[in-house]
Amino acid sequence: MQEFFFVRIEKTYIKLKFAEIMYVQAEKKYVNLFAIDKCYTTLCSLGHVEKILPAEIFCKVHRSYIVSLEHTSRFDNEFIYIGNKKIPISEQYRGILKNSVITLNYDSNLFQPENNFNQPQQDFYKISFRKNAW
């Protein structure tokens, strides 16, 4: 599979690698492709771009946004953060995002080891590894 595609900007076709795309934003009949170094605007639907982008790297998080999971630094239930950009996550796409990533969940189950009543209490944490289990 190719790791790039060409974007038509006016009368020129510009090569854009998937790894360079941070996120895609729909704006009426146009899409803005935000790459590491530049933003490219072209006449195209977000649905068409979604079909071209590899699903293992990109995830639609809102009716107007597709994000690169490789460029994502963090997310919560409402927003996904890419660089200094805060992108909304709509409720209908929240589950899709959570199923697209592998997570390491932190559970703070504290317990005391048996027969160590005189020793200082230590905190023990259970960390669970989950794939597609939110």
Domain at 61, CATH number: 2.40.50.1020
Asked whether the predicted pLDDT for residue 134 surpasses 90, the reply is no
For the stretch 11-52, pLDDT in tens is 999 999 999 999 999 999 999 999 999 999 999 999 999 999
**Residue 71: domain span:** 4-102
For the stretch 69-91, pLDDT in tens is 999 999 999 999 999 999 999 99
Please report whether residue 123 resides in a domain. no
* Beta-carbon count within 10 A of 38 CB: 10
Please report whether residue 21 resides in a domain. yes
Please report whether residue 48 resides in a domain. yes
Please report whether residue 91 resides in a domain. yes
Nearest to 71 by CA among 25, 24, 19: 19
Please report whether residue 94 resides in a domain. yes
Number of domains in the chain: 1
